[in-house]
Amino acid sequence: MSETLTLTASDQHHFSAYQATPEGEPKGAVVVLQEIFGVNDHIRSVCDRLATDGYVACAPSLFDRIQPGWESAYDDAGVASSRELMGKFNIEQSLDDIQATIDHLKPFGNVATIGFCLGGSLAYLIATLSTDLSCAVGYYGGRIPEFADQKPRCPTILHFGEQDAGIPLEKVDIIRQHQSELPIYLYPAGHGFNCDARSAYEPESAKVAWQRTMAFLKEHL
């Protein structure tokens, strides 16, 4: 079952969230963190896929503070518009929205987070701040090197593409230098390789990364 909810952050900001719920008793819950393209078809499909595997999955609309209901495609116009909105994005406020989503999911069991691109960076950052996560997964989070000196408070894994022009391997090495015990996986792919709506989609890399992600959730949720 899927539905759109309205959640409330600690500053009383109301935001929408897409939630997919499995049949039967859930194994746990996952906060799914969006790219700059909003809670679009790709992010909703990730939630649906997690629900099929037995997890309650909820994706907060992190751009609702800027433009409620924002979502876009991956074409040139969508990229330009999304980057324009990103210029107004407030990370501190987004962390408040993510924590509110974590709190909402607690009744379903242990909570993890999985993020992509912008969401990959936020998945790492919230893992360094919140004590309410059992694990975190970040896909191609380009801003992680900015706060790589902050250690996650829960088990965390990261996925990057070796051919990602926006996240050169030197940036991945910065993370490794600060967090030498952190599992970081590299794939023969570019940015956005998990998303089948992107030209950068790389099926084999997406498959292997998802298998590792699901094994990680099974271990920690």
Output the pTM of the full model. Answer: 0.97
Return the pLDDT at 201.
97
Return the pLDDT at 206.
98
Residues of the chain with pLDDT under 70: none
Q: Is 1.10.230.10 the CATH number for 2-220? A: no
Burial of 174 (0-12, 13-18, 19+ CB in 10 A): middle
Burial of 76 (0-12, 13-18, 19+ CB in 10 A): exposed
Return the pLDDT at 65.
97
Return the pLDDT at 172.
98
Domain ranges of the chain: 2-220
Return the pLDDT at 51.
98
Return the pLDDT at 194.
97
